[in-house]
Amino acid sequence: MAGIWGGDDTERAGELLIENVFKLPPGGYHQERELHQEVVRQNSRTLPLNETRSPDDPLISCEWLARISVPTHIVGGADTHEYWQHMSRRFSVCIPGASFETIAGTRHDGALDKVDELSTIILDFVDAHRL
């Protein structure tokens, strides 16, 4: 993706990706909380890997996800970009027995925005499955 975004600067590519995904104005990435920026910096290291994938060889396929055999609950942000909403729902369909839930009032970064709500969802899931 760094090449797609015009250079080999994966950190800058990550910033541009975040601005696009979260529909932020140009430079809006730098208005995000420092914790969010640090997560993006760390995740940016994976952008070259994603860029080299072809549509015929996806990073994650439904067939691959179908091999997951443990209880799985996917949580997404209700206000996230449509792409991430679609992917989260698609993952939950591909994983046998998986469940899906959204957290209202949050985007793709719900784990940073709604810590208490996400913690409750995780603890309830773990308790229900005795994990």
The predicted-structure confidence for 49-96, as pLDDT tens digits, reads as follows 555 555 555 566 788 889 999 999 999 888 887 777 877 888 899 999
Please indicate, yes or no, whether the overall pTM of this predicted structure exceeds 0.85: no
Give, rounded to a whole angstrom, the gap between the first and last alpha carbons of the chain. 37
Contact 97, 68 (CB under 8 A): no
CB distance 37 to 29 below 8 Å: yes
